[in-house]
Amino acid sequence: MTVSELIRKFPEIPQDLHDEPLLAQFAQTFGDFLREAQNPGPCSAAYTPGNHYYLKLIGPIRIYMYGLSTKDKVLSKIQALLDQHAADPSVFAESLLTSEVRA
């Protein structure tokens, strides 16, 4: 996934992150998950894998969008996600889902 595709799919990504190199790396690394990611509805009782991908991957960016975090903190969170994935991609993929969804 390119950063342009990411921004089109998730317009909630703040403008000041669009040119960040980490966002491009994030889009490329997590493209398969991000293609499936969907914001859960406000009354959702059960989350799909796509909902979990959204909450874990886009959630920190959304918190920043609301002004509840700083740019430095969201970039640090993105870097941490990238580092966790690089350490062990299969363990990282499993960490995105709850045990109920994996079963």
Mind listing the pLDDT tens digit for each residue in 39-84?
Answer: 998 887 778 999 999 999 999 999 999 999 999 999 999 999 999 9
**Model pTM greater than 0.85?**
yes
Which pLDDT belongs to residue 99? 61
- Cβ count within 10 A of residue 87: 9
Domain layout of the chain by residue ranges: 3-102
- Cβ count within 10 A of residue 39: 15
Tens-place pLDDT, residues 9-50 = 999 999 999 999 999 999 999 999 999 999 998 887 778 999
Which pLDDT belongs to residue 41? 84
Which of these, 71, 74, 76, 20, lies nearest to 3 by C-alpha position? 20
